Amino acid sequence: MKSKKKKNVVDGSRDIISGLPYAMLCHILSFLPTKEAASTTALSKRWKPLLAFVPNLDFDDSIYFYPREISWTVSWLLQAKAKSPLNRFQVKCKDVVDQYWVLEWIQKVLKRGVLDIDLRIPTSLGYCSRSNFYPLPSKIFMSKTLVRLKIEFEDGVNFSVDGDVSLPKLKILYLDYFQTDTITFNKLVSGCHVLEELVLVNLKWNWNYLDPMPGYLTFMADRYREVSFDSLVEASVGLRLTPDQIVHVTCSSEDNLEPEDEINLKNLLMGICNVKILFLSCDTLKVLNYCSETIPVFNSLMQLTVEPCVEWESLSALLKNCPNLETLIFQGLQHIFGDKCEDEDGCLCKCPDDSLGTVVRNCLVSSPVKVLKILKFRENCDIDEIEEQIEHVKHFLETMPNLENVTLYYNTPDGEDVMKVCKQLQKIRRVASAKCNVQIISDNLSLSSTI
């Protein structure tokens, strides 16, 4: 007898996709939002069990007609008897959701060996006030599989653990609006042996069982010195002075932080001094202005990005301590001249007082930087500020000896403005670098020239 091969037929045509192996179908479904993947169960009986084996679960309430339906959908899927491993569990909500459900979801996906957890949850339905922080399940601190953990709870989460922390595969940790204490934080960092990226936003530091002001971070120096971020590749630092610290530096004749605060800051910077990529906020640069002598050497730093800030004093000290820096990125070139601009290494700018003669900026003359990028060039500037920014660029070209490429990102629809800036830079008589390419990029025009 001749065997007959059964063909999948839909409306008289062969259904080629349904004939694919289960593993291939699951792989295809993993690229779809989970709601759309779930709708495929209506195609045929063969599709119904597939959803339980899809390795990626992505939920976004923006694609739901009734956004609150997402909570029921997630809970229903996780109640399924599937025990197959999960690669990614992602939930994005803009509408209110019961965060106790979310904490239950975390426990269930951890049992399935999830690799990537990404949760962005708004304020809850009122089960807890914003003064409370949801305790994360203890199992999340002992996951042997987690590679990436990103949690943004508008109501906040509490990081507290009695035992040890062991996250041997965690490379990326992103926490927004959370509460922890010194001991737990030290355990957390010590338990992440391969951590490469750490982002901490809106941290409430819980010490001595007091409720400090949100957004301020204080490290206990005697405990923090035992913590290191040796495997950290990239760091984004956002520090602010407390109201008491602002009063102190304003009234102090020495214009410095308290010794204890300087020690705390130094220990924090020492903990991240092995990073290759560093981002500093404007507020962080202001903090460093009052304790530039505490800045450690960043031997491994290859790329430094700084937020727009009118005060550049701390940048001078920082650049001197980055012996292998290759790329320097300004997210804006605004600057206000101050008293320290007249000091030899008090700033990066060209000294505004001609009577002092030429002031050599050692931090620039000895700079190893090869690539200089300036974003938002001439943005929100009046005529005088525009000329000042051009003078800053000229000063960098005349002073930094290793520059190979300078790129200005100029947000203007007028091509004549771009050409005008390019001609101004070409008129520089003396350039420190033997050969430097200057590129100006705008929305509709890109000019490049070698100076």
Contact 441, 409 (CB under 8 A): yes
168 pLDDT exceeds 90?
yes
Place of tokens 């010194």: 182
210 pLDDT exceeds 50?
no
pLDDT at 236 (0 to 100): 83
pLDDT at 115 (0 to 100): 96
Helix (H) or strand (E) holding 197: strand 197-205
pLDDT at 136 (0 to 100): 82
47 pLDDT exceeds 70?
no
Contact 22, 54 (CB under 8 A): no
Worst-scoring range by mean pLDDT, 123-132, 166-175, 336-345?
Answer: 123-132
Structure tokens at 73: 């959908």
CB atoms within 10 A of CB 447: 18
pLDDT at 265 (0 to 100): 76
Structure tokens at 421: 């800036």
What single letter denotes the amino acid at residue 256?
N
CB atoms within 10 A of CB 277: 18
Q: What percent of the chain has pLDDT over 90?
A: 13
10 pLDDT exceeds 60?
no
213 pLDDT exceeds 50?
no
What single letter denotes the amino acid at residue 177?
Y
pLDDT at 293 (0 to 100): 79
Rounded to whole angstroms, the Cα distance separating 406 from 431 reads: 12
pLDDT of 283-335, one tens digit each?
Answer: 888 888 888 778 899 999 999 999 887 777 788 889 999 999 999 999 988 77
- Residue 58: strand, helix, or coil: strand
pLDDT of 337-381, one tens digit each?
Answer: 666 665 656 566 666 554 445 566 677 888 899 999 999 887 767
What single letter denotes the amino acid at residue 251?
C
Per the DSSP assignment, residues forming a β-bridge with 58 are 90
pLDDT of 424-441, one tens digit each?
Answer: 777 776 677 778 888 888
pTM exceeds 0.75: no
Rounded to whole angstroms, the Cα distance separating 70 from 60 reads: 8
Phi-psi region of 404 (alpha: psi -120 to 50; beta: other; left: phi over 0): alpha
For range 211-237, the mean pLDDT: 53
- What's the whole-number average pLDDT of the chain? 74
**291: buried, middle or exposed (CB in 10 Å: 19+, 13-18, 0-12)?**
buried
Structure tokens at 280: 């500093």
Nearest Cα to 311, choosing from 284, 293, 329? 284
Q: How confident is the model at residue 150 (pLDDT cuts 50, 70, 90)?
A: very high
**Better-predicted residue by pLDDT, 92 or 32:** 92
**Which residues lie below 8 Å from residue 65, measured CB to CB, with a gap of 6+?**
none
CB atoms within 10 A of CB 293: 8
69 pLDDT exceeds 60?
yes
159 pLDDT exceeds 50?
yes
End-to-end CA distance of the chain: 83
pLDDT of 382-392, one tens digit each?
Answer: 666 777 888 88
pLDDT at 402 (0 to 100): 92
Q: How confident is the model at residue 128 (pLDDT cuts 50, 70, 90)?
A: very low
Q: How confident is the model at residue 74 (pLDDT cuts 50, 70, 90)?
A: confident
400 pLDDT exceeds 80?
yes
Worst-scoring range by mean pLDDT, 9-18, 239-248, 282-291?
Answer: 9-18
**Better-predicted residue by pLDDT, 227 or 374:** 374
Rounded to whole angstroms, the Cα distance separating 227 from 212 reads: 22
Per the DSSP assignment, residues forming a β-bridge with 180 are 205
**24: buried, middle or exposed (CB in 10 Å: 19+, 13-18, 0-12)?**
exposed
- Residue 187: strand, helix, or coil: helix
Rounded to whole angstroms, the Cα distance separating 450 from 112 reads: 56
Contact 150, 172 (CB under 8 A): yes
Structure tokens at 436: 């430097």
pLDDT at 1 (0 to 100): 46
Q: How confident is the model at residue 124 (pLDDT cuts 50, 70, 90)?
A: low
- Residue 358: strand, helix, or coil: coil
Nearest Cα to 235, choosing from 274, 290, 209? 274
Helix and strand numbers, DSSP H then E, in the chain: 13, 17
Structure tokens at 226: 């035992």
Q: How confident is the model at residue 445 (pLDDT cuts 50, 70, 90)?
A: low
Name the phi and psi angles at 147, rounded to 5.
-110, -30
Rounded to whole angstroms, the Cα distance separating 179 from 160 reads: 8
| Cβ burial 122-149 (10 Å sphere, 16+ → b, else e) | bebeeebeeeebbebeeebbbbebbbbb
